[in-house]
Amino acid sequence: MKRFTLRLLLIISAIIGAIFSFWYLIDHQIYMPQLSDISIYTRFINHGLFIVSLFLLLFAFFINEKLYKITGVFLMICGLLYLTHVFSFIDANYFYLIPLFFYILTGFIMYNEKLISKKRYKSN
């Protein structure tokens, strides 16, 4: 059951990441005059995050327990890359903090999974 919930959490985070990456492509074109200097790099970061989220959707079905820590660190780094989306507009768009929090939360849970499961078994 534990593996299923982690995989489900990873799938939900990847879907949210893909949706927000796609939404940035639409949002980027609509608010073109309100973009900051970071937006030049944010387009390329956005394409990379979209590909990563699609990869995570497939990877969630094949992940094993040995890769939980590495995947957790990778998810936290990808979550921090969403900060470029927030600050790519002149007036910061806090809408893109949603995938940032999902990626960081999922990464933190996956990174600390062994520690959490050990505490759970000790209390029983």
Tell me: pLDDT of 26 over 80. Answer: yes
Please report which residue ranges of the chain form alpha helices under DSSP H.
Answer: 2-30, 39-59, 68-81, 83-86, 97-111, 113-123
| Distance between CA atoms of residues 15 and 59, nearest Å | 13
Is pLDDT at 104 greater than 60 in this prediction?
yes
**In the chain, what are the domain boundaries?**
7-123
Instruction: Provide the pLDDT confidence category of residue 117 given band limits of 50, 70 and 90.
Output: low
Q: At 31, is the pLDDT very low, low, confident or very high (cuts 50, 70, 90)?
A: confident
Cβ(46)–Cβ(91) below 8 Å: no
pTM: 0.83
pLDDT digits (tens, 9 = 90+) for 74-101: 999 999 998 888 888 888 788 889 999 9
